[in-house]
Amino acid sequence: MRPQMQLVQNQIHSPYSSVPSSHLDNQLRHQLREEPIPTLMKTFSGYENELSPELFVPMLPYFKQIELPEGQIIWRRGDQPDGLYVVAAGVMRATYTWDNSDSVSESMVAGTLAGELTGLAGMPRNADVMAEKASVLWKLSNEDWALFKKERPTLAHRFVELVLKGATEQSTPLPTRL
């Protein structure tokens, strides 16, 4: 366990702790507004009505912020994954190319997951991804993901459930979402 987060994590009421949220102190209230919690809430709140920012507080030490200038390539198709990303600001561009087919591109804005399926599955990347505009991302590296699963297996399982809900929603054709 990373000691700098232990005190505050033990003060959270959720399925992963034992103290009611009415006992939240100012430090925890501040943490609930600290990135990447607002970005994670933006990313996942559309998939569950009762999602609480308190769920994400124990995840803070595992995510690292990275800033990318416009045009920076973050990975290429076929690269081994180095983790998964959540777009906090800016615009990322993913370009998918298949044999005997035209390429397809999509823009990813704040609140979008990037590389989540290949990252969690340990499969080669299936697209070229670059910063279309200067961007800020939150990265959950392979190493931090392994530590997260070891230190907080129940919460890691819950996180995978949220990621899969998001991936399922993103893969649903537009007419069925209307």
Query: Can you give the pLDDT at residue 173?
Result: 45
Q: According to the model, what pLDDT value does residue 101 have?
A: 77
What are the residue boundaries of the structural domains of the chain, listed by start?
3-170
Q: What separation in angstroms does the CA of 43 have from each of 37, 142, 143?
A: 10, 20, 22
The tokens of 66 are what?
Answer: 């990275």
pLDDT, residue 138, reads 97
CATH superfamily of 3-170: Jelly Rolls (2.60.120.10)
Higher pLDDT, 178 or 143: 143
Q: What pLDDT shows up at residue 56? A: 94
